[in-house]
Amino acid sequence: MAQITLKNLAHSYLAHPRGEQDFALKAMDHVWQDGGAYALLGSSGCGKTTLLNIISGLLRPSQGRVLFGDRDVTDAETAERNIAQVFQFPVVYDTMTLRDNLAFPLRNRGKDTAYIARRVEQIARMIGMEAILDRKARGLTADAKQKISLGRGMVREDVNAILFDEPLTVIDPHMKWELRTQLKRLHREFGHTMIYVTHDQTEALTFADKVVVMYDGRVVQMGTPEELFETPAHTFVGYFIGSPGMNLLPAEIRGNTAHLGGASVPLDAAYGPVPGRAQIGIRPEYAVLTEGDGLPISIRRVEDVGRHRIVRGEVAGHGVNVIAPEGMPIGPALTHVRFTPDRINVYADDWRVAPAKGIR
């Protein structure tokens, strides 16, 4: 087990990248703590799988180094890195029995038979397949096969890290939840470093201690689920996390006030001059409909999603969503929306700016 360090890492699939736009993964420096449960979250094509394959050694980065602990493994083969990886689509060895499938990584590393037998039984129990260990893998359903893949990923105890590449895509929703819980339990039990790639925020937020959000080849934020929710470092994080995402409104920031068109919104801290395109971001959860306090809003639509209602409206020509608690009457009297000042984030060119004195 080891801490994973990425130093000035970047990757391009082209042999001679000509500019930043040719890089699938833009230069980054990151440290992944030993024993952490990380989720790598982002929409498809943002470079998450590329990053994962670089860590596992299936891809060699165009520049930068990968360190496991103090050891530079940039040029090391996958096998030397001693990691496990579970892929998006199930990979099972069709002609082998389930038992042999699970034992395969151990046998290839020359473990002794008794240990292998014990370990395979243990893993089989965990994925709930101890009863059918002796049948061939051919002809199993996709989710059964994926469980085998997961089992094979976890069968080795001494791995540096276990990497998951959207492993639950082919699994039924109710099984998803169960398997995720199991993974989480395993993580607590054995303390492996786990990196879990997904585009599903629920999956990421429930699995990980730390969520790494990627956007357009960059890691835009690495933080706890709470940090991602409260202080998104990039407008993409605000928009991607949460349902619906953060409201973003162009504004002019002067001291501790944001000016939108003719109206103004109080902020709870003073900001220095904001360079570039300035925006304020507010979660729908922290916006409240009022009868006259705040900004004028014209309500377009109300959606009832059960626990609460989503009010879709417009403020100064920009779409704004507000979450209203179930049971609160929404009538024509509600003409304004108030943003909770200490929940407002300020963005310059999509990146979050901290208040001037660093206080809230």
Partner 1 sequence: MEKTLNNKAWFLVLPVLVIVAFSAIVPLMTVVNYAVNDTFGNNEFFWVGLEWFEEMVTSDRLHEALGRQILFSAIILAIEVPLGIYIALNMPKRGFWASLCLVLMALPLLIPFNVVGTIWQIFGRVDIGLLGRYLAEFGFDYNYTNDPLDAWITVIVMDVWHWTSLVALLCYAGLQSIPNAYYQAAKVDQASRWAVFRYIELPKMAGVLLIAVLLRFMDSFMIYTEPFVVTGGGPGNSTTFLSIDLVKMAIGQFDLGPAAAFSIMYFLVILLVSWIFYTVMTNLDKEEGK
Among 125, 138, 185, 360, binds partner 1 (CB under 8 A): 138
CB closer to partner 1, 152 vs 192: 152
- Fill in the amino acid letter for 245: G
Interaction of residue 142 with partner 1, rule CB under 8 A: no
Interaction of residue 48 with partner 1, rule CB under 8 A: no
Interaction of residue 169 with partner 1, rule CB under 8 A: no
Interaction of residue 109 with partner 1, rule CB under 8 A: yes
Determine contact, residues 20/12, Cβ cutoff 8 Å.
Answer: no
Q: How far is the CB of 41 from partner 1 (least distance, A)?
A: 21
Determine contact, residues 251/260, Cβ cutoff 8 Å.
Answer: yes
Q: How far is the CB of 165 from partner 1 (least distance, A)?
A: 8
Helix (H, G, I), strand (E, B) or coil at 154: helix
* CA atoms of 183 and 187, how far apart (whole Å): 6
Q: State both tokens at 261.
A: 């068109």
CB closer to partner 1, 145 vs 283: 145
The site map against partner 1 for 50-89 (x = CB under 8 A) is: ---x--xxx------------------xxx---xxx-xxx
Among the listed residues 255, 245, 204, 244, the one whose alpha carbon sits nearest the alpha carbon of residue 225? 204
Q: How far is the CB of 170 from partner 1 (least distance, A)?
A: 12
Torsion of CA 164, 168, 169, 174, to 10 degrees: -170
Q: State both tokens at 356.
A: 């001037």
CB closer to partner 1, 93 vs 239: 93
CB closer to partner 1, 59 vs 295: 59
Q: Which residues of 324-338 are buried (b: 16+ CB within 10 A; e: fewer)?
A: beeeeeeeeebbbbb
Among 119, 147, 152, 218, binds partner 1 (CB under 8 A): 152
**To which residue do tokens 């990421």 refer?**
204
Among 3, 26, 35, 93, binds partner 1 (CB under 8 A): 93
* CA atoms of 187 and 208, how far apart (whole Å): 10
Q: What is the DSSP string of 319-357?
A: EEEEEEETT----TT--EEEE-GGG-EEEETTEEE--TT
Strand partners, 182: none
Among 149, 193, 198, 247, binds partner 1 (CB under 8 A): 149
Among 76, 91, 133, 269, binds partner 1 (CB under 8 A): 91
Interaction of residue 247 with partner 1, rule CB under 8 A: no
Stretch that binds partner 1, among 67-75, 91-99, 195-203, 337-345 (CB under 8 A): 91-99
* CA atoms of 344 and 338, how far apart (whole Å): 11
Q: How far is the CB of 307 from partner 1 (least distance, A)?
A: 38
Interaction of residue 300 with partner 1, rule CB under 8 A: no
Contacting residues for 228 by C-beta, under 8 A, at least 6 apart:
205, 211, 213, 221, 237, 241
Q: State both tokens at 4.
A: 């994973």
Stretch that binds partner 1, among 68-76, 103-111, 236-244, 310-318 (CB under 8 A): 103-111
Interaction of residue 193 with partner 1, rule CB under 8 A: no
Interaction of residue 132 with partner 1, rule CB under 8 A: no
* CA atoms of 245 and 251, how far apart (whole Å): 18
Span between the terminal Cα atoms of the chain, in Å: 39
CB closer to partner 1, 124 vs 162: 162
Interaction of residue 354 with partner 1, rule CB under 8 A: no
Where on the chain is the footprint of partner 1 (CB under 8 A)? 53, 56-58, 77-79, 83-85, 87-89, 91, 93-96, 104-105, 108-109, 138-139, 149, 152
